[in-house]
């Protein structure tokens, strides 16, 4: 590779004149923006322990009333991007949200897509475009782009959930904004009842939803049963994972980020090849080690970690007797749509 000219090689008055016309020479920065073989990634492998988050989140509940917060969230910020950027990866935002009994987080809608993965507490709900979705541990609730959503809580213990949004991407694209609304009327109909059994969708003539997002809530009992069923059905399958999809189209549940549930068999070590998307792992049940060539994190219940893209990852169940269940969020739908999705089984570039 030849050495390219540096900025210092140019006469200072020439560079100054370029700049006065809003012009910049490419060659001193060419390798920076198009590095050889491997993209530059600011995303660092980062672990957020729930044991650290929970007391600080409960403290936020004492310090800041919901009216002063609208959404009472501690952001899981990746130091590689600087904490101020509030991003977990290039496209993913993670936040841990607290709602106390009787509180209400008012209705709004925004351009970023969001999901909630419920961490603990019973009795809360999120209403999405009039569909009231109960929230229990492990349930996944979608609030896709432009959909009204509000959170309420009729239980008697704090409720905590993990928010995953494509906010960093939307902000970067200069399309991120919100609208406020009033309390939503609850409408009849619940996607998780209408689409309760896989392969059975409402017959069109009797009113197939026709909605882009027919199902807003994916109960954990169903995802868990699907994983156990898949593991039983395919004893040799290493990657026991299901993807949250649109039951009408089979496409990813949302447009930008991908959501999956993964099971590690008792004692299992699972080697995942390097892939272009950054990945977030969150422990729903059990405990697991998430390791790259460079480092490893021991995750216990409700811990979350982020692994940058293009990074081979090894997942190890910490238990020899019980399965471990992880929630996985990644940037794969985005990468596929952009045509840059890449798997590197041997860690070599395999540009699509």
**Is 97 a residue that touches ligand GTQ (CB under 6 A)?**
yes
* Residues 4 to 43 in contact with ligand GTQ, rule: CB under 6 A: none
Site for ligand GTQ in 128-167 (CB under 6 A): 149, 163, 165
Q: Which listed residue (45, 53, 57, 73) binds ligand GTQ by CB under 6 A?
A: 73
Rounded to a whole number of angstroms, the minimum distance from the CB of residue 45 to ligand GTQ is: 22
Q: Count CB neighbours of 121 within 10 A.
A: 21
CB of 150 to ligand GTQ, least distance (A): 8
97 vs 332 by CB, closer to ligand GTQ: 97
Smallest gap from residue 140 Cβ to ligand GTQ (A): 14
User: DSSP letters of 228-280?
Assistant: HHHHHH-TT-S-EEEE-B-TTT-SBSSSS-EEEEEEEPTT-EEEE-EESS-EE
Q: Is 319 helix (H, G, I), strand (E, B) or coil?
A: coil
The verdict on 304 binding ligand GTQ (CB under 6 A) reads: no
Picking from 120, 106, 31, 94, the residue whose alpha carbon sits closest to that of residue 70 is 106
Does the footprint of ligand GTQ cover residue 103 (CB under 6 A)? no
Nearest to 245, CA basis, from 266, 218, 263: 218
Supply 200's token pair. 């059975």
d(CA 126, CA 144): 13
Identify the three-state secondary structure at position 171: helix
Residue 25 or 106 having the CB closest to ligand GTQ = 106
b/e map of 275-287 (b: 16 or more CB within 10 Å)? bbbbbbbbbbbbb
> Residues binding ligand GTQ: what is the number (CB under 6 A)?
9
Binding mask 224-263 for ligand GTQ (x = CB under 6 A): ----------------------------------------
Q: Minimum CB separation from ligand GTQ for residue 98, in Å?
A: 11
* Contacts to ligand GTQ from residues 309-338, by CB under 6 A: none
Can residue 95 be called a binding residue for ligand GTQ (CB under 6 A)?
yes
Partnered with residue 280 across adjacent β-strands are 306, 329
76 interacts with ligand GTQ by CB under 6 A: no
Residue 156 DSSP label: S
87 vs 316, which CB is nearer to ligand GTQ? 87
The Cα–Cα gap between 210 and 203 comes to: 11
Would you count residue 71 as binding ligand GTQ (CB under 6 A)?
yes
**Where do contacts with ligand GTQ occur on this chain (CB under 6 A)?**
71, 73, 95, 97, 110, 114, 149, 163, 165
């Amino acid at each position: 590779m030849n050495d390219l000219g540096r900025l210092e090689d140019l006469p200072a008055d020439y560079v100054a004149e370029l700049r006065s016309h809003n012009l910049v020479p490419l060659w001193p920065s060419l390798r920076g923006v198009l590095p050889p073989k491997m993209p530059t990634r600011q995303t660092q492998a980062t672990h957020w322990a729930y044991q650290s988050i929970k007391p600080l989140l409960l403290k936020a509940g004492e310090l800041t009333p919901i009216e002063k917060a609208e959404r009472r969230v501690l952001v899981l910020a990746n130091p590689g991007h600087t904490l101020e950027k509030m991003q977990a990866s290039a496209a993913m935002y993670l936040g841990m949200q607290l709602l106390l009994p009787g509180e209400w987080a008012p209705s709004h809608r925004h351009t970023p897509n969001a999901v909630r993965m419920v961490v603990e507490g019973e009795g809360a709900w999120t209403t999405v475009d009039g569909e009231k979705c109960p929230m229990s541990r492990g349930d996944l609730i979608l609030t896709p782009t432009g959909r009204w959503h509000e959170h309420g809580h009729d239980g008697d213990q704090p409720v905590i959930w993990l928010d995953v949004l494509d906010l960093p991407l939307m902000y970067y694209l200069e399309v991120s904004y919100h609208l406020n609304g009033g309390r939503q009327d609850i409408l009849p109909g619940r996607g998780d009842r209408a689409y309760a059994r896989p392969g059975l969708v409402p017959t069109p003539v009797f009113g197939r939803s026709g909605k882009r997002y027919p199902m807003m809530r994916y109960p954990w009992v169903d995802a868990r049963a699907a994983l156990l069923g898949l593991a039983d059905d395919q004893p040799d399958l290493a990657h026991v994972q299901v993807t949250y999809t649109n039951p009408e189209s089979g496409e990813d549940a949302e447009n930008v980020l991908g959501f999956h549930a993964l099971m590690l068999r008792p004692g299992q070590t699972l080697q995942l090849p390097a892939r272009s998307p950054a990945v977030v792992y969150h422990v729903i049940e059990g405990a697991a080690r998430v390791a790259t060539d460079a480092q490893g994190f021991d995750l216990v219940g409700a811990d979350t970690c982020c692994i940058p893209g293009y990074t081979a990852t090894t997942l190890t169940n910490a238990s020899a007797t019980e399965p471990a269940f992880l929630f996985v969020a990644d940037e794969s739908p985005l990468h596929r749509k952009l045509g840059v999705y890449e798997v590197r089984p041997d860690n070599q570039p395999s540009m699509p």
